[in-house]
Each structure stands twice: as structure tokens, then as C-alpha cells.
Amino acid sequence: MNWISQAAFLIILAITGYFLTRRINRIRQNILSGKDLDRSENKKERFKTMLLVAFGQGKMFKKPIPALLHLLIYVGFLVINIEVLEFVIDGLAGTHRIFASFLGSFYTVALNFFEFLAVLVTFSCIVFLFRRNVLKVERLVKPEMKGWPALDANLILIIEITLMMAILKMNAVDQILQSRGVEGYTQTGSFFFSSLFIPILSLFETPFLIFVERASWWFHIIGILGFAVYVTYSKHLHIFLAFPNTYYSNLWNKGKIKNMDEVTNEVKTMLGVAAETGAPPVEISRFGAKDATDLTWKSLMESYTCTECGRCTSECPANQTGKLLSPRKIMMDTRDRIEEIGKGESKDKTLLGDYITKEEINACTSCNACTEACPVNIDPLSIILEMRRYVSMEESGSPASWNSMFSNIETNFAPWKFAPSDRFKWKEELNK
């Protein structure tokens, strides 16, 4: 009957690979539908940023308690998944605990460590569920977190707890079957945490326990494969995208706002500078961003990387004072819109107007607190600035006070309505 199990496993693996590949390609196409952006310089600094921020969780520890709990889940995810390799080999080869015969006593030590991490992961997930649903931490219950975002966060935690319990249950039953000398169950030694379940499970007959062990094995591996596909539709895609996203971080000083290349080229063309270089004039389709495809690929990648943790929103001074702006919502809306575009849906909609309002983007103070707070270096400000540029330059729809300031800068080279020749009159007053 082993060949039937192997064939079933291979089919499940192939189906998972198909859906996973199709989804990854869709996300990739959506991200690459954004405007080009060169982030290839300073590779050494970028690699260092990725190691410190994504792999090292450097920015998480601004909030120590959730950071420690997140670290336990993160380490557990990385280490426990080594056991998944054994699951895959066993599934394809029709074996059972294939590593046990090679690793000997070290296998017992490793599995005890894995179980210890499984318990820590379970504990962390329970605490996170408590924080979200009982304590209702403010940043986790903002308006944009209603509906699917809240359900998604809870589902992930519940799934992780269930998978960890399946490991412990499977290991406990496995130990009982080993002690009873059932054929095919390699002696692995005792596992501390799963052994706690043995007194209860030992009450059952061997055939039933074999069924439970196999069911737990299949449940765990199918659960992991299903989880891998589910993650690509979830905010937990940051598990993978945090690494490229931090690598391609904006390395400029946080207070520096990049000029629009289109505007720079336009001014140079008007002044005849571009003609001197021999470069042909660039046709400008749109200043700023009205829809998701007007943004850069990096902004679109960031929308998929967003963890929805709300640290950006909790640090946003506009949001703190009751303004409509939520940097987290900006990222979530961008992701939702590019998903819609990728599916070819709602062509009559745009990111600005149907998802994000002018009131939201006008509330931004450009302080960069959101970017500084983000654990994976997401930059909501770049999206806000591009949309504000569109409103200002394409629609002339900025607030009247802003337009007055723009006019003053254009004519007087300063935000105030004073002629450049009068700029130092205050100094003359001091010398009297």
C-alpha cells in the first residue's frame, strides 16, 4: 500500500506546486506592472540592511514584548520547517522518519528541540490572539482592520497553533507505537513535550493509534502545503518578501524627498539643457500617480510586503490627532487595487478617489515617521507624495493655501509673499 501513499503525496505536491507557481507569477506580474526604478547601487549597504532588518528583526525591538513573541514564532518557523524536509522525503520515498537511522541519538536531541520551539510558537500565538481579541490593542483594531484583515490575522495564528499541536500529537502516538514494537516505527528515543500526552493516548488500541499517527502526519504536511499557498493571499507574505523589500530599501536620508525625473527633464528641455546632451525629449504620460500602475515597482512590492502591524499608523502624527490618514491603509489599498488590476477587474476605478481620498493624502505631514516605524522599511510616504503630485500638477486640485504657497515659491523663491529684494529687511531693522 506504500505506493498508493507515495502516489497520493506526489499528486498533492504537484497540485500545491501548480497553484503556488501560478500565484507567485501573478504577484510578480502585478509588481512589475509598476514604473521602473533603479535600486541597484550600493549592494554592500543593501545586503547589510537586509541582514539587520529582515533576518535580524532589528526594528522589531522598539516594542520589546511583541518583538520577543514574534522572534519565537520566526525562529520556530525557520527551524521547525527543517522537519518538513523529512516529511517530504518520507512522502516521496514511502519511508518513516528517514533521518532517524542516519542521525541516531542526535535525532532525539533535534526533535526535542523542535518540540520545545513548537511549544513556544503555540504560546506566542495564544498571546497574540489574546492581544487582538481580548485586550484589543488600539493599533490592531483600527477601522481598516475590520473584516478580512482581522480574520486573516486570527486564521494564521489558529492554523499555526493547530499545526504545532499536530506535531506533538503525532510524536506522542509514534512513541507509543515504537514501545509496542509495531513494524515500521523506528526507535527514536523519548520526546519530552509530546510524552506528556502518552498517558491518555496509551488507553487506545494499536490499530486506532496507527490511524491517528498517519492522520496527524497527513494533516500536518497537507496543512503546511496549504499554508504555503494561503500565505500568498495573506498579509503573511511578508515572511518571504521582507528580504527583497529591505534589500531594495530607500537608502537616502529620511528627510530627503526625491525630485520627479519627469519634471526635471521637462525643465531641462525648456532651458535647452537636454538638447545639449543629445538625449531625445521624453514623452510624459502623467505627472504623479492616479492609479496603482503609476507607482514604481518598489511601492507595489511594499504593498504586498505590508505586515498590517499598524506601527506606521500608531506613530503617524496626523492619525494621532484624528485625521483620516492611516499609512497602513494606504499600503492595504494599494495592494487591493493592484490585485484588481491584475485580475482585469474594475477598469473604471482608480487608486486615488475610489480607494484613497484627497483628504487622506493632504493630511500627511511628510515627517517619515511611518517609514521609520515600519519593521520591514516600507515607505508609504512615497505613494502619498506621488498622488499629491498628481492632484497638484494634473488636476490643480491642491488646497488653496497650498496653491498660494506654490505660486510664492515660483515667483518669490520662498513660501511667503515677499519679493526676493525684501528678504533681508529684517536685518536692516536690527541695525537701527
The model carries a pTM of 0.89
Distance CA 331, CA 384 (A): 10
Distance CA 198, CA 176 (A): 7
In percent, the amount of the chain with pLDDT more than 70 equals 97
At 283, is the pLDDT very low, low, confident or very high (cuts 50, 70, 90)?
low
Burial of 116 (0-12, 13-18, 19+ CB in 10 A): middle
Q: Quick: pLDDT tens for 158-198.
A: 999 999 999 999 999 999 999 998 888 888 889 999 999 99
Higher pLDDT, 105 or 328: 328
Half-sphere exposure (Cβ direction) of 207: Cα atoms closer than 13 Å: 0
CB atoms within 10 A of CB 173: 27
**Any idea how long the chain is?**
432
Grouping H, G, I as helix, E, B as strand and the rest as coil, residue 356 is strand
What is the residue-averaged pLDDT of the chain?
89
261-421 falls under which CATH superfamily?
Alpha-helical ferredoxin (1.10.1060.10)
Domain ranges of the chain: 2-32+63-247, 261-421
**CA-closest candidate to residue 237, choices 331, 315, 303, 147:** 303
